Structure 1
Amino acid sequence: MFAKWTLSLWILVMVMPLTAKPERKEVDGITYHLLRVPAASVRVIWKDNAGKPLRTFPATTKFLESKGEDVQVLMNGGIFEPGGIPSGLLVQDGSTLHPVNRRPGKGNFYLMPNGIFQITAKGASVIRTDEYPLGNAAVTYAVQSGPLLLRKGKVHPAFNAPSTSRLHRNGVGVARNGDVVFAMTDFHSAKFPNLFEFAGLFRQLGCDDALFLDGDISQMRWGDGLKKPGNRFGSFIAVVGEATPDE
């Protein structure tokens, strides 16, 4: 069992550094890549200025750099349909590029309640889809996926601790101080979490609200990996800083 005081110490020291980089940590026998950043450094990206889905890490990196931002970490966003079309809501730079999806269906996305990760002028939050829109603040970035892992500290009612469905997963949560917390299992982990354990990870990391993003194909990139070919996705969640001016 990973000592809770050790994890708490990690939470305290993982304040956004000048250069964000995920930490590789073992929690309860599962190896994760973990990152904690301020909400102001997070973007949700799907399309370029011409309205074309970006699909890849290199294309998304190039697009953000063209906007004057220093891309530090990229992770695939929510579940998507053929052609890289988000399965649900996608808000980029204040524009709703794909509407919220409240339909029933099969698969992880439709395991109700599903949810939305969003950023407004008030900060980041994860909410149930049926709560959207929540409050009066305009949404700057948002992505819908499912299932919801945690809402107000409670684990999704469909999850159960003995589940044998152990898979590669990634997700996003919001800590009590407003920081955004990302987690993805390491491809070489000795074991993978079930959804109950994955929700519990975010609770250990100080989150009351968290959202499952995707499964087997999920990737997190930083450094030189940002410009290397990889899987094709729908949306991306980026951690950015101010670009260093050319000398």
Structure 2
Amino acid sequence: MTRLRRAVWLALAMATAPALGQAADCREESFDGAGYILCEVDMQAEDLRLFLKDEEGENLGSFGRVNAMLEREGAVLDFAMNAGMYHSDRRPVGLYVDNGQQQAGLVTREGPGNFGLLPNGVLCVREGRADVIETLVFDAEAPDCRHATQSGPMLVIDGTLHPRFLVDSDSVYVRNGVGTSADGTRAVFAISQGPVNFHSFGRLFRDHLGLPQALYFDGNISRLYAPALGRSDIGFAMGPIIGTVQRVPPAE
């Protein structure tokens, strides 16, 4: 990237961020015998972004590298987690939009694995709101998202659990995902503190958090950055990462 292009990239990033940014509310809660960490984002007060590549086009892959990039624009990562499935080279499996630029297309067909367990969905981040939207609805409505990541399966669809979930399923993993309120102003990101099945994880969003739409991000590899709780998970490189950003006030 040339010096001029980098300067333009930084200027755009600064222009789209709030003055300082309110911190996400990260906390520990229990539901139905399982422990979770929840990070709640007020979409009218916080700066929620997706991250995949740096300004040079290199994969980020870790919370530390995201923070290093943000430092160059006078900001810091407040909370973050992995945000959707990806190929071995860390390309997103489905739709991926970063700062208004689509980098991977929407996938509407059924396929193998959890991603293809339809219905799946998209997290769409717009000005002042975030919405989990079922993929075929997203395809029909084509909302203009500043950031978007596709994953699957949907956990909750219009207040109903995914039809393929089994109460007594023995497929249990540490899992993470996101749910959104009907008005889009509330987004709650969750990661389990131990192995849970899909049915239990979906009920967390529907029955405990009262959210009508929720989307699964991943399992087993799930990781969290929540410095307020002493969490900064490490491991092999990730694909898409989502998190809230706070601007650092200038030194006096």
- Give 1:36 deviation, angstroms: 0.9
Q: What count of residue pairs does the alignment treat as equivalent?
A: 227
Mapping for residues 26-65 of structure 1, pairs under 5 Å:
26-39=30-43, 40-65=46-71
Instruction: Give 2:49's aligned amino acid.
Output: R
Q: Could you tell me which of 89, 92, 95 is aligned with 2:95?
A: 89
Q: Post-superposition shift, 1:19?
A: 3.6
Q: C-alpha displacement at 1:228, in angstroms?
A: 7.3
SS of the residue aligned with 1:130? Answer: helix
Does the CA contact (< 8 Å) of 1:171 and 1:212 recur in 2? Answer: yes
Distance 1:102 1:65 in 2: 37
Matched, 1:156 2:162: yes
Q: Name the SS of the counterpart of 1:131 in structure 2.
A: helix
**Residue 181 of structure 1 is aligned with which of 188, 204, 208?**
188
Residue 124 (structure 2) pairs with residue 121 (structure 1): no
Partner of 2:16: none
Supply the AA of the counterpart residue of 1:132: F
Deviation at 1:216, TM superposition (A): 0.3
Moved more, 89-98 or 174-183: 174-183
Q: Provide TM-score, normalisation by structure 1.
A: 0.84
Report how far residue 236 of structure 1 moved.
Answer: 0.2
Match for 1:25 among 21, 25, 29? 29
For structure 1, list consecutive stretches of 5 or more residues without a partner in the other structure. Answer: 1-16
Aligned to 1:80: 86
Looking at structure 1, the residues matched to 211 and 126 of structure 2 have their Cα atoms a distance apart, in angstroms, of 18
Give the equivalent residue in structure 2 for 1:206. 210
Between stretches 108-117 and 132-141, larger displacement belongs to 132-141
Normalized against structure 2, the TM-score is what?
0.83
CA distance in 1, matches of 2:68, 2:231: 9
3-state SS of paired residue (1:139): coil
What is residue 215 of structure 1 aligned with on the other side?
A: 219
CA RMSD of aligned residues (A): 2.1
Counterpart of 2:11? none
Distance in 2 separating the partners of 1:233 and 1:142: 17
1:107-163 alpha-carbon deviations (Å, 9 max, x no partner): 001000111001123621011111224646521000000001111111111112121
Segment of structure 1 superposing worse, 133-142 or 176-185: 133-142
For 2:226 and 2:174, how far apart are their aligned partners in 1? 19
In structure 2, how many angstroms separate the alpha carbons of the residues matched to 1:217 and 1:98? 22
Would the aligned equivalents of 2:223 and 2:233 in 1 still touch at CA under 8 Å?
Answer: no
| DSSP 3-state at the match of 1:231 | coil
1:167 and 2:173 matched: yes
- State which drifts further: 32-41 or 231-240: 32-41
Distance 1:234-1:68 versus aligned 2 partners, 3 A rule:
same
Query: Percent identity, aligned pairs only?
Result: 33
Deviations 1:19-58 (A, max 9, x none): 4352112211111011111124211111112222211111
Taking the aligned partners of 1:218 and 1:235, their CA distance within structure 2 comes to 12
Cα distance per residue 1:42-94 (max 9 Å; x no partner):
11111112222211111112122323333111101101110111111111111
